[in-house]
């Protein structure tokens, strides 16, 4: 079939809207009509050329929601008409990783996914006879896409696509990092670096579990109002304080953060996020994705004296199990999504969504088909 897609022909260039060719689902695969997709900073990161796994030409996008149109042979867990969220972290429930109960990082199809291919090693997308790569196993910047069955979470059919697409990455990553990775407890002091599409969801996760002090750190003063609405109790703009940021945060939190989260992808900020943690027990969680060749560093003494450094992908959420629950939390009003979606636009304007992100004017832009 033909479908409309925003194609990334090469790194650093605007996306191009094209009628692309899409082959139907093979065994174990599912054809999904994408109804809406968010634009995450990770899409911009890969488009920039900084992603070691970035492959071109490709159809980016990994934060979508849509409807199952057709299933391939052997597919049993979804059927045409089901409403679904594509999962860049699948959940096969059979691999060593899934069965460990220790991680959400299902590895069943990770190798081919990282090569921009379906599990059989081929692509379903092409343009004028030239193969287009899939992206993060999702490619939601296309009106139709094909995914493995294990990469789909079936959700409440009443959930609005243009809101819950955000559960496909940002909401789950932020809220999940608090709940499933850091296990923040009531009364804890939390410091969140970067108050964008991910950090604001960390803030609402921290509020949800009953954190006491929730400190937000951002160089964009415009983030303050939204963060306060989502539960931030104190705002710190690194450009507006006297002296050292880490010392300022340690003093503000009365000895250091119980939990900190880096939601930017800046390795210098990652160090500050670790070092502002409380001696003896503070835990810092890296969410931000840093470019090729970048490395983190600190004095090992920071760890010797009891701080812990960890990271999280997709908030530690097990996609097929946890994503439907997070959609239900939204439907019951336990989490908010609507105010974070600051811009909605058609596919033809997708490059504006990237511009708004880079200019710090949007929190989440959503593309509707
Ligand atoms: P975003 O652009 O919406 O937000 C980034 C925020 O960081 C902005 O508010 C910006 O003003 C702020 N910022 C930039 N430099 C700063 C600095 N030096 N100090 C303080 N604040 C600063 O991006 P996003 O969509 O929220 O994504 C954030 C990061 O998380 C990206 O690196 C993205 O790739 C990554 N990410 C990771 C996962 C995961 O599973 N680990 C999932 C989604 C996104
Ligand atoms: N491909 C990059 C890393 C990108 C990355 O870390 N991706 C996160 C999700 S970001 C979503 O917005 C992730 O899930 N990582 C785990 C994984 O298996 O990819 C690189 O550095 O090579
Ligand atoms: Zn993302």
Residue 263 annotated among the catalytic residues of the structure: no
Annotated catalytic residue, options 3, 37, 41, 133: 41
**Distance in Å, CA 154 to ligand 1 centroid:** 28
Q: Are 197 and 215 in contact (CB under 8 A)?
A: no
- Cβ burial of 129 (10 Å; 0-12, 13-18, 19+) is exposed
Residue 40 annotated among the catalytic residues of the structure: yes
Nearest CA to ligand 2 atom 16: 313
What pLDDT is recorded for position 241?
96
pTM score above 0.90: yes
pLDDT tens-digit profile of 146-200? 999 999 999 999 999 999 999 999 999 999 999 999 999 999 999 999 999 999 9
Q: Is the CB of 140 under 6 A from ligand 1?
A: no
Residue ranges of the chain whose pLDDT lies below 70: none
Q: Are 31 and 69 in contact (CB under 8 A)?
A: yes
**CATH level 3 topology of 183-311:** Rossmann fold (3.40.50)
Buried b (16+ CB within 10 A) or exposed e, 31-44: bbbbbbbbbbbbbe
Residue 63 annotated among the catalytic residues of the structure: yes
CATH 3.40.50.720-classified regions of the chain: 183-311
CATH 3.90.180.10-classified regions of the chain: 2-169+316-368
pLDDT tens-digit profile of 238-268? 999 999 999 999 999 999 999 999 999 999 9
What pLDDT is recorded for position 318?
98
Q: Ligand 2 pocket by C-beta < 6 Å: which residues?
A: 40, 42, 51-53, 89, 105, 110, 169, 289, 313-314
Which CATH superfamily groups domain 2-169+316-368? Medium-chain alcohol dehydrogenases, catalytic domain (3.90.180.10)
Residues 6+ apart with CB under 8 A from 306: 279, 280, 281, 282
Residues 6+ apart with CB under 8 A from 105: 89, 97, 313
Q: Are 123 and 3 in contact (CB under 8 A)?
A: no
What pLDDT is recorded for position 348?
98
The rounded Cα 321 to chain-centroid distance in angstroms is: 17
Nearest CA to ligand 2 atom 1: 53
What pLDDT is recorded for position 325?
98
What pLDDT is recorded for position 198?
98
Nearest CA to ligand 2 atom 17: 313
Q: Are 312 and 285 in contact (CB under 8 A)?
A: yes
Nearest C-alpha neighbor of 353 from the set 23, 17, 31:
17
Nearest C-alpha neighbor of 289 from the set 65, 33, 41, 39:
41
What pLDDT is recorded for position 32?
99
Residue 364 annotated among the catalytic residues of the structure: yes
């Amino acid at each position: 079939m033909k479908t409309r897609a925003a194609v990334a022909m090469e790194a650093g260039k605007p996306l191009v809207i094209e009628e692309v060719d899409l082959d139907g689902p093979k065994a174990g695969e599912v054809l999904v009509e994408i109804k809406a997709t968010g634009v995450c900073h990770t899409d911009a990161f890969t488009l920039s050329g900084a992603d070691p796994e970035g492959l071109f030409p490709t159809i980016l996008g990994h934060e979508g929601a849509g409807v199952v149109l057709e299933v391939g042979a052997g597919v049993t867990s979804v059927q045409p008409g089901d409403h679904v969220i594509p999962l860049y972290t699948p959940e096969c429930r059979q691999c060593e990783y899934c069965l460990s109960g220790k991680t959400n990082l299902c590895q069943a199809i990770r190798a081919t996914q990282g090569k921009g291919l379906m599990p059989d090693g081929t692509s379903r997308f092409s343009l004028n006879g030239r193969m287009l790569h899939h992206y993060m196993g999702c490619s939601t910047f296309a009106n139709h896409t094909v995914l493995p069955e294990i990469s789909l979470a079936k959700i409440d059919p009443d959930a609005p696509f243009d809101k819950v697409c955000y559960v496909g990455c940002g909401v789950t990553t932020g809220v999940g990092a608090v709940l499933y990775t850091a296990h923040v407890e009531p009364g804890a002091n939390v410091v969140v670096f970067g108050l964008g599409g991910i950090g604001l969801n960390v803030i609402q996760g921290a509020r949800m579990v009953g954190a006491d002090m929730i400190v937000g750190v951002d160089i964009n003063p415009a983030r303050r109002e939204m963060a306060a609405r989502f539960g931030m109790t104190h705002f710190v703009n690194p450009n507006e304080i006297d002296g050292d940021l880490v010392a300022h945060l340690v003093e503000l939190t009365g000895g250091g953060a119980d939990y900190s989260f880096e939601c930017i992808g800046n390795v210098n900020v990652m160090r500050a996020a670790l070092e502002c943690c409380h001696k003896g027990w503070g835990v810092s969680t890296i969410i931000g994705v840093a470019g090729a060749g970048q490395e983190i560093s600190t004095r090992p003494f920071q760890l010797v004296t009891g701080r812990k450094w960890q990271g999280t992908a997709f908030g530690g959420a097990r996609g097929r199990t946890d994503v439907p629950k997070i959609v239900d939390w939204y439907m019951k009003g336990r989490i908010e999504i609507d105010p974070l979606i600051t811009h909605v636009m058609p596919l033809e304007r997708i490059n504006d969504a990237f511009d708004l992100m880079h200019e710090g004017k949007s929190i989440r832009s959503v593309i509707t088909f």
